[in-house]
Amino acid sequence: MTKLDEVGAWIRDRLPELLAEHEVPAAGVAVLADGAVVDAAAGLLSTATGVTATPDALFQIGSITKVWTATLVMQLVDEGLVALTDPVSAHLPGFTLADEDAARTLTVGQLLSHTAGFEGDVFTDTGRGDDALERYVAGLGDLAQLFPPGEQFSYNNAGYCVLGRLVEVLRGRPFDECLVEQLFTPLGLTHAAASPYEAIVHRVAVGHVRPEPDAPEVPAPVWALARSNAPAGSTLAMRPRDLLAFARMHLEAGKAPDGSTVLDAGTVAAMQQPRVQLPDIRVMGDAWGLGWELFDGHGTPVVGHDGNTIGQASFLRVLPERGVAVVLLTNGGNPYGLYRDVVGHVLRELADVQVRELPTPPADPPRVDATRYAGTYSSRVADLVVSQSDDGRVWLEMRPKDEALELGEKPERSELVGFAPDTLIQVEAQSGLHMPLAFLGDDGAGHARFLHIGRAVPRAGA
């Protein structure tokens, strides 16, 4: 029995009890090592229907889709149809933002590396037609510019929708069709769906959510987010083995199973090179490449991406120098704890790599003077209000608005404690994760300019 076989046997044996421990309804796992693959699944795809998970069951991969979108863009680069230094406006002449200079000058490479600088959490539903993405991008003209393009990192869903529209324009076909023709077909994928209409013919996981903080989880009321956000991760679903096939192409210098070229080898390598460093919030990578999230401190390069949709969470980790990749797809509960146990075991056994521990509040947190941090930080989807009470405790109020309210988000209040220089952390975990909040910059009056939670949220009025 090979080491991979041993890992596969461990997953099949342990996965059901780990699902119960972390209250995850179902999960699918696939692992690649030395050119061979093992996969497994367990649990219920929907607690309402009782349909069981199998290795061929589809889960939504959420924002892992962004690596697929980046790959579609880099195919255009390989073909000489676009360059990373090209202004986006050169290919999308009608592209507008609130800041006309930024809209005119920001580049394709800046969109790929999440350094475009405009507000990125935009989930406008523009319908289910083939013009959904075109209409979405046409509606971005009032988006605020948070910082000049290229200045820093701020995770940007809307930016990836713009990239998806770029693919549509240069290919002359809807984004869904580009996915199928440019990636599904050459990679030989059989259990992947670019939309709910294709997913429904398969065994499909349903996300699970809590209608109230202390209520048990139930199947989510809707399966997917709007088609207009497809390039950012709203609809793409597949079985773990098919996501692994995509990762394998990146491991094998851009080659498809039949030996044909999907991406040039140099392009594959360029996508994995750091383009921007991230704030030290420890729940994302340390840097970002072109689509890929990059993780330091493992003794070998690690690239990947995570994803979240309505009640589903996904994880992909790839070790290019070790020929190892692992996929974990879930549909509720505490997916981060399951990630730690399953992906942690796989990488430890196959590559002697220890996954980074998730951040937790210190047992004896230092007293914090929150004068620099207190205030309201505002985005299109929520106001984040940081305050300090008379007894010295620090609080975060999340007040959803507009599209977030329509998606069912509810106000939340959580306590924060000191974690690292200019960084606080939530005392209570949400879905198994204690979220760190970094406070960056200066508004000119001694207060932080941004609250950074992966995306930069500006101080209101700054």
Confidence at residue 206, expressed as pLDDT on a 0 to 100 scale: 98
Q: State both tokens at 93.
A: 């002449």
**pLDDT bracket for residue 430 (50, 70, 90):** confident
Confidence at residue 214, expressed as pLDDT on a 0 to 100 scale: 80
Q: State both tokens at 318.
A: 């790839």
Burial of 204 (0-12, 13-18, 19+ CB in 10 A): buried
Backbone torsions φ then ψ of 162, nearest 5 degrees? -60, -40
**219 Cβ contact partners less than 8 Å away, ≥ 6 residues apart:** 46, 47, 48, 206, 207, 208, 311
Q: State both tokens at 293.
A: 């999230």
Q: What is the mean pLDDT of residues 194-209?
A: 97
Confidence at residue 462, expressed as pLDDT on a 0 to 100 scale: 58
Confidence at residue 403, expressed as pLDDT on a 0 to 100 scale: 72
Confidence at residue 461, expressed as pLDDT on a 0 to 100 scale: 74
Does the predicted TM-score (pTM) go above 0.85? yes
Q: What whole-number percentage of the chain has pLDDT above 70?
A: 99
Cα separations in angstroms, 275 against 153, 165, 214, 294: 10, 23, 41, 10
Q: What is the mean pLDDT of residues 50-68?
A: 98
3-state SS record for the chain: CCHHHHHHHHHHHHHHHHHHHHCCCEEEEEEEECCEEEEEEEEECCCCCCCECCCCCEEECHHHHHHHHHHHHHHHHHCCCCCCCCEHHHCCCCCCCCCHHHHHHCEHHHHHCCCCCECCCCCCCCCCCCCHHHHHHHCCCCCCECCCCCCCCCCCHHHHHHHHHHHHHHHCCCHHHHHHHHHHHHHCCCCEECCHHHHCCCCECCCEECCCCCCCCEECCCCCCCHHHHHHCCCCEECHHHHHHHHHHHHCCCECCCCCECCCHHHHHHHCCCCEECCCCCCCCCEECCCCEEECCCCCCEEEEEEECCCCEEEEEEECCCCEEEEEEECCCCHHHHHHHHHHHHHHHHHCCCCCCCCCCCCCCCCCCCCCCCEEEECCCEEEEEEECCCCCEEEEEEECCHHHHCCCCCEEEEEEEEECCEEEECCCECCECCEEEEECCCCCCCCCEEECCCEEEECCC
- Spatial separation of the C-alpha atoms in residues 394 and 396, rounded to whole Å: 7
List the catalytic residues: 63
Confidence at residue 431, expressed as pLDDT on a 0 to 100 scale: 78
Residue type, 458: P
Q: What is the mean pLDDT of residues 63-92?
A: 98
Confidence at residue 263, expressed as pLDDT on a 0 to 100 scale: 98
Q: What is the mean pLDDT of residues 123-143?
A: 96
Confidence at residue 24, expressed as pLDDT on a 0 to 100 scale: 98
Confidence at residue 12, expressed as pLDDT on a 0 to 100 scale: 98
* pLDDT tens per residue across span 95-130: 999 999 999 999 999 999 999 999 999 999 999 999
Mean pLDDT, all residues of the chain: 96
Q: Is the pLDDT of residue 157 over 70?
A: yes
* pLDDT tens per residue across span 294-347: 999 999 999 999 999 999 999 999 999 999 999 999 999 999 999 999 999 999
**pLDDT bracket for residue 410 (50, 70, 90):** confident
* pLDDT tens per residue across span 16-30: 999 999 999 999 999
* pLDDT tens per residue across span 226-244: 999 999 999 999 999 999 9
Confidence at residue 407, expressed as pLDDT on a 0 to 100 scale: 67
Q: Is the pLDDT of residue 406 over 80?
A: no
